[in-house]
């Protein structure tokens, strides 16, 4: 059984078009519905021609149909899945957003038919592309979600633009639109604001250009060079702060943080009040007994690049308790066992280093001095209550030989540095 589209205004150069153009076929024997999408608007230069250059047939099985009383309009409305055009006046076929799917198939296969079947499989069989309806519906659903994110992103950009256009008149603070949380939403929102994302090749070319022209730019346009350099530093700092915050939120263990500070020495440098450079992580500082056991290993051995004086840093995890959970007296909390142990541990490492320093220096042939070994402990999170903060501050203020720093304080140092680097008129 065939269905035809009969034009009300057939083209003058094709008299046979008045008889109609086949757009449907239903086979009762196989219960298969075939669709032949065409253009149905007279002002289209391809009027009554196939919608797609290569894919001319869309086929699917229609179960439980009474062949004797088939009504094509009912068949289209009841059995065509989402994503199909159900009004013959529009030439049938797939909805506009699915045209990209057809173009992809036509570009990379010789298929002239898409056969929709159950399941999620996709395969090429001769000139047929076999496409599972579940896979097709999943693709269409994601396309629609992308559309929705694009609409939402564009709306945020438009709202911010209108707000800022009248902000001075209405005495309002400038608005900054949100990029959204989903990566696709972020890209679409930037695109709505005219921000073009660079490809990897474009990024590489930009980096190469900057590297080769940086000296000339610093000489001829120093202010522009300084601004560009500051912007790059801000991007790096933003990345570091984000990585640091994410690791804190996920409760990473001690080993992770030692690797993190190995790869991001700048973050660890926020602990010191003087310039320090890493000499070695997991450094042996002596303490080996006559039987070869008992060696002490510091998480970090650093030195002052001007005086060569050494410092030791011991790393504990952010979840380490700083204070006892039970009050010693009203409003007073004693240091936790872990905090006290970490302080004693780094002091013992300093003692072992001083004792063995001459031999270690000779063996390493390094420019190191141990005039006065500075000791640092990075541990825990800053207490939240006033009483706990008071107890912690009093304890570490009287820990004269060991400086105790929390993970929150390192993060705050990074954020303060970022704020310092921002230009005064920036809203970032």
> Left, alpha or beta for 126 (phi > 0: left; psi -120 to 50: alpha)?
left
Query: What's the pLDDT at 390?
Result: 95
Buried b / exposed e across 384-406, counting CB within 10 Å, b at 16+? eeeebeebbeebbeebeebbbbb
> Hey, where are the domains in the chain?
2-117, 141-192, 200-247, 254-407
Contact 23, 3 (CB under 8 A): yes
204 by DSSP, 3-state: which?
helix
Q: What angle do CA 169, 174, 176 make, to 5 degrees?
A: 145
Query: What's the pLDDT at 277?
Result: 83
Contact 176, 427 (CB under 8 A): yes
Query: What's the pLDDT at 364?
Result: 77
Query: What's the pLDDT at 111?
Result: 95
Contact 69, 1 (CB under 8 A): no
Return the number of other C-beta atoms located less than 10 Å from residue 42's C-beta: 12
CA distance 377 to 403: 6
Return the number of other C-beta atoms located less than 10 Å from residue 223's C-beta: 7
Contact 107, 91 (CB under 8 A): no
Burial class (CB in 10 A: 0-12, 13-18, 19+), 261: buried
Query: What's the pLDDT at 17?
Result: 67
Query: What's the pLDDT at 388?
Result: 94
Provide the Cα torsion 291, 294, 298, 301; round to 10°.
Answer: -30
Buried b / exposed e across 265-300, counting CB within 10 Å, b at 16+? eebbbbbbeeebebbebebbbbbeeeeeeeebebbb
Q: Are strands 113-117 and 57-61 parallel, antiparallel or unpaired?
A: parallel
Return the beta strands (E) in 97-162 as ranges.
113-117, 122-125, 128-132
Q: Write out the two tokens for 249.
A: 């939120």
Q: Are strands 277-286 and 296-303 parallel, antiparallel or unpaired?
A: antiparallel
Least Cα distance to 39 among 73, 5, 72 occurs for 5
Query: What's the pLDDT at 322?
Result: 95
Q: Positive or negative CA dihedral for 315, 320, 322, 323?
A: negative
Question: pLDDT tens digit string along 113-153?
Answer: 999 998 899 999 999 999 999 999 999 998 888 888 777 77
Q: Positive or negative CA dihedral for 179, 183, 189, 190?
A: positive
Give residue for tokens 């603070």: 173
Q: Write out the two tokens for 25.
A: 């076929």
Distance from the first to the final alpha carbon of the chain: 66
CA distances from 326 to 136, 247, 250, 329 (A): 61, 29, 27, 9
Query: What's the pLDDT at 68?
Result: 47
Q: Is 254-407 a domain of CATH 3.30.530? A: no
pTM value is 0.51
Q: Which residue ranges in the chain fall short of pLDDT 70?
A: 11-17, 63-78, 176-211, 287-295, 423-428
Least Cα distance to 317 among 266, 270, 377, 252 occurs for 252
């Amino acid at each position: 059984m065939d269905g035809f589209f009969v034009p009300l205004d057939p083209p003058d150069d094709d008299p046979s078009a008045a008889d109609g153009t086949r757009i449907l076929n239903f086979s009762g024997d196989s219960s298969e519905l075939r669709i032949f999408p065409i253009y149905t608007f007279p002002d289209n230069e391809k009027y009554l021609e196939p919608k797609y250059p290569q894919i001319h047939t869309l086929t699917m099985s229609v179960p439980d149909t009474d062949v004797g009383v088939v009504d094509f309009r009912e068949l289209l409305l009841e059995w065509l899945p989402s994503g199909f055009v159900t009004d013959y006046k529009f030439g049938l076929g797939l909805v506009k957003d699915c045209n990209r799917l057809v173009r992809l198939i036509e570009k990379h296969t010789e298929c002239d038919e898409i056969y929709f079947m159950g399941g999620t499989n996709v395969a090429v069989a001769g000139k047929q592309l076999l496409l599972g309806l579940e896979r097709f519906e999943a693709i269409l659903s994601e396309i629609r979600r992308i559309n929705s994110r694009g609409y939402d992103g564009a709306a945020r950009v438009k709202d911010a633009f209108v707000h800022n256009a009248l902000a001075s008149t209405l005495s309002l603070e400038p608005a900054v639109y949100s990029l959204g949380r989903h990566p696709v939403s972020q890209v679409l929102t930037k695109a709505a604001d005219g921000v073009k994302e660079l490809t990897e090749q474009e990024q590489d070319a930009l980096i190469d250009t900057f590297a080769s022209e940086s000296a000339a730019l610093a000489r001829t346009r120093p202010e522009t060079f300084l601004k560009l350099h500051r912007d790059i530093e801000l991007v790096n700092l933003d990345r570091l702060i984000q990585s640091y915050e994410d690791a804190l939120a996920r409760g990473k263990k001690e080993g992770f943080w030692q690797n993190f500070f190995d790869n991001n020495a700048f973050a660890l440098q926020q602990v010191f009040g003087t310039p320090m450079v890493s000499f070695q992580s997991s450094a042996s500082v002596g303490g080996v007994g006559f039987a070869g056991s008992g060696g002490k290993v510091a998480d970090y051995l650093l030195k002052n690049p001007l005086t060569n004086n050494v410092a030791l840093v011991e790393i504990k995890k952010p979840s380490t308790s700083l204070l006892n959970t039970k009050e010693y007296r009203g409003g007073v909390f004693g240091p936790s066992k872990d905090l006290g142990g970490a302080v004693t541990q780094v002091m013992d490492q300093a003692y072992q280093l001083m004792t063995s320093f001459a031999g270690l220096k000779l063996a390493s042939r390094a420019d190191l001095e141990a005039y006065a070994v500075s000791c640092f402990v990075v541990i825990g999170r800053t207490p939240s209550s006033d009483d706990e903060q008071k107890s912690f501050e009093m304890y570490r203020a009287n820990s004269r030989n060991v400086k105790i720093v929390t993970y929150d304080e390192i993060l705050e140092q990074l954020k303060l540095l970022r704020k310092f680097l921002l230009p005064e008129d920036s809203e970032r």
